[in-house]
Amino acid sequence: MTDRALAVVRAGALTTVQDTGRPGHAHLGVPRSGALDPGAAAFVNRLVGNAGDAAVLETTLTGCAVRPRRAVTVAVGGAPCPVTVDGRPVAFGAPVRVAAGALLEAGRATAGVRSYLAFSGGIAVEPVLGSRSTDLLSGLGPPPLVDGAVLPLGRPVGGAVAGAVDGLAPWPAPPAELVLRIRFGPRADWFTPGALRTLTRGLHRASAAGNRIGLRLSGPPLERARGGELASEGMVLGAVQVPPDGLPVVFLADHPTTGGYPVVAVADERDLAAAAQTVPGTPVRFVAVR
């Protein structure tokens, strides 16, 4: 049994292994997957000397706790949370040396939703279609963490750094209001003019039902202009799909590659990291752009 590994002591609400994902396989029905906040994942990787595409842990709201079997450099970023080693507070957003057998814990997020833990050498689970990411929709990649699981670590390739990294900045606080820039279509004509006004002027809020597949919203439903159902068609990252209840869903990294509900608009990919960090109840505003 190798000592280049870490044991999961507390898995948290949902902790998964993520890297930059597996784009390019939609024709096989395989979503992109990957870290929902790629900037935060890249930042912690660089702090510990990893390449930007090394696999990290992505937590959801409640953090996680792990025990490395050998000394390792760790950085925690993304959604701010308390970080401790054997119960003693250590720095968030900076490299920390964790001794073999010590308990590293990332606590509950104090803002945002998803925190990221990078380990020198990266999480070295076997890649599937070129990625180590957990895909909740297709089931590809390693399963979500459970207590007692053991994850292998790779060999470090670079030294830890301190401070700003090549222009990357620490993760910003989540906005009090999420603003998503959208372009209408491809199925905006399936909705009434009033529904399009509702989308850009109505008060929507992030729902607690959201997950890695999509940000679900509560608020005024969008009225359809026509009945019936679409034939299944391709879906893209950021698609704003409207199921029969009329409440929009903004597709994130684990979204299905095809679907039969109409897509009223597509959100700008640059806004999706903030969408993934939006806590339930946050107001969401759509802004149409050309």
Instruction: At 184, list the tokens.
Output: 């209408």
Within 13 Å and on the Cβ side, how many CA atoms surround 17? 28
At residue 107, what are phi and psi to the nearest 5 degrees?
A: -85, -165
Q: Tokens at residue 5, please?
A: 């590994």
Per-residue pLDDT, 129: 95
CA dist., res. 223 & res. 154, Å (int)? 51
Residue 125 near residue 42, CB atoms below 8 Å: no
Q: Give the homologous superfamily in CATH for domain 178-288.
A: Cyclophilin-like (2.40.100.10)
Print burial letters for 210-244: b (CB count within 10 Å at least 16), e (below 16): bebbbbbbbbbbbebeeeeeeeeeebebbbbbbee
The beta strands (E) that lie in the chain are given as 5-10, 16-18, 56-58, 64-68, 72-78, 83-85, 88-89, 96-98, 104-106, 115-119, 150-152, 178-184, 204-206, 214-218, 233-234, 239-241, 249-251, 258-259, 263-267, 283-288
Backbone angles phi, psi at 39, to 5 degrees: -65, -40
What is the model's pLDDT at position 26?
86
Question: What 3-state DSSP class applies to 255?
Answer: coil
Which pLDDT value is given to residue 168? Answer: 54
User: What is the dihedral sign for C-alpha 210, 214, 217, 221?
Assistant: negative
CA nearest neighbour of 235 among 37, 31, 36 = 31
Q: Can you tell me whether residue 270 is helix, strand or coil?
A: helix
**pLDDT the model gives residue 73:** 97
Pairwise CA distance, residues 290 & 268, whole Å? 11
pLDDT digits (tens), the chain, 290 positions = 578 999 999 999 999 999 999 998 888 889 899 999 999 999 999 999 999 999 999 999 999 999 999 999 999 999 999 999 999 999 999 999 999 999 999 999 999 999 999 999 999 999 999 999 999 988 999 999 999 999 999 999 877 665 545 555 566 677 789 999 999 999 999 999 999 999 999 999 999 999 999 999 999 999 999 888 888 899 999 999 999 999 999 999 999 999 989 999 999 999 999 999 999 999 999 999 98
Q: Is the Cβ–Cβ distance between 259 and 24 less than 8 Å?
A: no
Report domain extents, the chain: 5-152, 178-288
Q: What is the pLDDT of residue 279?
A: 95
Q: How far is CA 119 from CA 48, 92, 221, in A?
A: 7, 14, 44
Query: How high is the pLDDT of residue 195?
Result: 97
Identify which of 238, 59, 211, 206 has the alpha carbon closest to the alpha carbon of residue 136.
211
Give residue 228's pLDDT: 80
pLDDT at residue 170, rounded to an integer: 61
